[in-house]
Chains A and B, each alone.
Chain A
Amino acid sequence: MTAAFAAVLRRDLLVALRRKGDALNVLIFFVIVASLFPLGTGAEPGQLRTMAAGVIWVGALLAALLSLPRLFAADLADGTLEQMLVSAQPLPAVVAAKVAAHWLSTGLPLALIAPVLGLQYGLPSDALLVLLGAVLLGTPVLSLVGAAGAALTLGVRGAGVLTGLLVLPLCVPALVFGAGALTASLSGLAPGPHLSLLGALLAVSLPLGLWAACAALRVALD
């Protein structure tokens, strides 16, 4: 089971590495979205600081959403997904590896660049650290919920928009706790409770997201 996890993870990362453009585009999209907001709202420092959390989180959410079609669609098209379903390996291990690879190639870069965007919004250094921690904890939730959404819409016409329709409302808790951590830190409160809740959310999303994604893949390939 761990061998299967490692094999799928290694393969997906190798593919991502040879198609660097895909992951890079997601990152650039994130930076552009976050940079556009001040142009629309004005760059008054106090205002920027109060909206930083929301903008960065919604930006990360949308960027993660854009990367979701890649998750299963390519494997469906070339027949690999079929092989994964009839393979000698438990499907949850395979899907978990795919989600992990998706997070490493999308969520992790998003988390690493989020503090840089925080600088644009004039966040103090301790808030940047909270932002990094919150996005690190929150993006795996987006990958897990997103995997379920991508699996449900696999092979469906208009899958991209539909995935957003399914995934975004389910990401509300991640948005609230993630952005809340930063807001709390900015107003001098301890961000700990928010981060704990984010961690708890991850613990719930892991089994739920994997179950839903596996079940949905079996339905999609039926």
Chain B
Amino acid sequence: MLNANGLSCERGDRQLFAGLSLALEAGGLARLLGANGSGKTSLLRILAGLTRPAAGEVRWRGERIGDLAEEYGRELAYIGHAPALKDELTVAENLAFAARLAGIVASGAQLEAALEVLGMATRAALPARVLSQGQKRRVSLARLALPGAPALWLLDEPFAALDEDGIGRVRALTEAHLARGGMLVLTSHQDVPVAAGSIQTVTLGA
């Protein structure tokens, strides 16, 4: 489904990686490992179609992601370092907007249920400004719990800033996604075991 062939990435004068390939089928998990600055986030952004690789290509269901444009976006959830929350909006408003961008029209009850999966339902009416880092991360991950969530998840450090309870919830969420036949690429420093049918590890900067 997701195939990356011969990817290489340059940042400024530096080459981060070259000749990197990756193939992901339904239910598959890919873990990206490597030190800070080894290009984990860059690889994730290339897979999301944000960054253009210096060489190589990424294909989704056999087609180049550049040609698919927002069709690819419909099947993709990319959650980067920044939580993508507006300080001025409430938690519920932020989640509703994130859902809209993903092409999901969710009812109030569905939004609340998704927040509940991440343990944030009681904070729904608070402005995002007052949330802690960990809470913000929970809210930005909550859109993955909405009905109609996309097939491919690209998560950059999903466990960062989360407490034990949060890590448990995100782990359960990702495992359920993989069990349904979803695909997941994640970068992580913490060694959180996520169970999946097939697991591959990509170590960068080696």
Direct contact of A and B (CB under 8 A): yes
Residues of A that sit less than 8 Å from B by CB: 3-4, 7-8, 11, 14-15, 18-19, 74, 77-80, 82-91, 94, 221-222
Overall SS of chain B's interface:
loop
Q: Is the CB of B82 within 8 A of A77?
A: yes
A210 to chain B, nearest CB (A): 15
Q: Is the CB of B103 within 8 A of A86?
A: no
Q: Is the CB of B73 within 8 A of A82?
A: no
B66 to chain A, nearest CB (A): 11
- Of A19, A78, A88, the contact of B101 (CB 8 Å cutoff): A88
For the complex, give the distance between the alpha carbons of A11 and B100 in Å.
Answer: 11
A44 to chain B, nearest CB (A): 47
For the complex, give the distance between the alpha carbons of A94 and B88 in Å.
Answer: 19
Q: Is the CB of B88 within 8 A of A18?
A: yes
For the complex, give the distance between the alpha carbons of A48 and B173 in Å.
Answer: 68
Q: What 0/1 pattern do residues 88 to 123 of B give for CB contact below 8 A with A? A: 110001000110111101000000000000000000
Q: With a CB–CB cut-off of 8 A, which chain B residues contact A79?
A: 80-84
Q: With a CB–CB cut-off of 8 A, which chain B residues contact A74?
A: 86
Residues of B that sit less than 8 Å from A by CB: 48-52, 69-70, 73-74, 76, 78, 80-89, 93, 97-98, 100-103, 105, 150
In chain B, what residue has the closest Cβ to A11? Answer: B97
Q: With a CB–CB cut-off of 8 A, which chain B residues contact A89?
A: 70, 73, 101, 103
For the complex, give the distance between the alpha carbons of A7 and B104 in Å.
Answer: 11
Q: Is the CB of A4 within 8 A of B100?
A: yes
Q: Is the CB of A82 within 8 A of B101?
A: no
For the complex, give the distance between the alpha carbons of A78 and B83 in Å.
Answer: 6
B76 to chain A, nearest CB (A): 6
Q: With a CB–CB cut-off of 8 A, which chain A residues contact B100?
A: 3-4, 7
Q: Is the CB of A88 within 8 A of B81?
A: no
A21 to chain B, nearest CB (A): 12
Q: Is the CB of A82 within 8 A of B50?
A: yes
B118 to chain A, nearest CB (A): 17
Q: With a CB–CB cut-off of 8 A, which chain B residues contact A87?
A: 70, 73, 101-103
For the complex, give the distance between the alpha carbons of A87 and B11 in Å.
Answer: 24
In chain B, what residue has the closest Cβ to A90? Answer: B70
Q: Is the CB of B50 within 8 A of A88?
A: no
Q: Is the CB of B83 within 8 A of A19?
A: no
Q: Is the CB of B52 within 8 A of A82?
A: no
Q: With a CB–CB cut-off of 8 A, which chain A residues contact B150?
A: 88
Q: With a CB–CB cut-off of 8 A, which chain B residues contact A14?
A: 88-89, 93
Given contacts A88-B102, A222-B52, contact A82 B86 (CB under 8 A): no
In chain A, what residue has the closest Cβ to B102? Answer: A88
For the complex, give the distance between the alpha carbons of A14 and B70 in Å.
Answer: 25
